[in-house]
Amino acid sequence: MTSSDRPALGILLICLGVTAISVNDMLIKLLSGGYPLHQIVFVRSAVGLIFSFALLRYEGGLRLLRTSTPLLHLLRGLLVVGANMTFYAAVAVMPLAQATALFFVAPLFITLLAIPLLGEKVGPLRLGAVLVGFAGVAVMQRPWEGGDAGLGPVLLLPVAAALLYASMQVLTRRLGVTTRASALAVYIQMTFLLVSLGFFLVAGDGRFAPGPENESLNFLLRAWILPPVSDWPVFAAIGLAAGGIGYCLSAAYRLADAATIAPFEYIGLPLAIFWGWAIFGEWPDPVVWLGCALIVGAGLFVFLREQQKGRPLPGRRNRPFRR
């Protein structure tokens, strides 16, 4: 049996991975009112790294970390870290479902970036789908309400996160990375640890925090605090989710064709809607529903066109975790 002919197991793993992402996002939003993001990321990555090393040992040991392209892994890690920072800066102040929907423009960015970076030809139907998806982003910006209405520029943060993530995916495909899933998870977790530690050394005392007038920047730059015992299980759960996300997604894309399982990533949107309603009392209004439909519909159309053309989806094989 080859590595790409077990679709049922691949679908199961992608669903588990996306569910872990959704839980991770919900818990980080839950903690965003009292802790800085880099402290949450540090604890999450420290716990996740333990599980990543356990998986690494299971798959072959420390020898799997040997690489001839360390700078490539560092760049990929920094792109993922940047995607995390911008996404969670938005999640701190906007509904979880809305931020998640805006992040789903990532496949559309991948399609566009594949043209100059990979030399791929993209037909008018896929380009049309990309335009429809970005129309969904424009709808969520509510330009008819004026520049100061609603969340304003904060709505662009998940889009920026999607662009960073898409750049990482295209870079992965162009350079043909074949690293095992557990090693990829270790590299990413170590990058998160180093960046969050850097934030602590520079801004861990809260000297750069702007205060409550800018919740996004405040979440990024507020001072570290010692968590009370009641919050320890939440931090542990975030770490457990982080440890499983990367492995589940990477393994899923080894076990089944990308075009078969990639659409299942979109279960993240109804999960985000559920958590937003159940935990935070959020429910999307009609404008958000319309934007979600345009973005998700465009992304699924791109996936289906790739499947019909018999081409691999850009950056889908052997991927690290998204958030």
Summarised one tens digit per residue, pLDDT across range 244-302 is 786 787 677 667 766 677 778 889 999 999 999 999 999 999 999 999 999 999 988 88
Q: pLDDT band for 228, please (50, 70, 90 cuts).
A: very high
Cα gap 134→115, rounded to integer Å: 17
DSSP characters over 223-259: PP-PPPGGGHHHHHHHHHHHHHHHHHHHHHHHHS-HH
**Section 225-242 average pLDDT:** 90
Within 13 Å and on the Cβ side, how many CA atoms surround 51? Answer: 18
Give dist(CA 78, CA 80) in Å, integer: 5
Burial of 175-193, coded b for 16+ CB within 10 Å and e otherwise, reads: eebebbbbbbbbbbbbbbb
Q: Which whole number is the average pLDDT over 205-210?
A: 88
**Model pLDDT for residues 133-165, shown as the tens digit of each residue:** 999 988 887 776 655 445 667 888 999 999 998
To the question of pTM greater than 0.85 for the whole model, the response is: no
What's the confidence (pLDDT) of residue 187? 85
Q: Evaluate whether 282 touches 276 at the Cβ level (below 8 Å).
A: yes
Closest C-alpha among 24, 36, 88, 53 to residue 240: 24
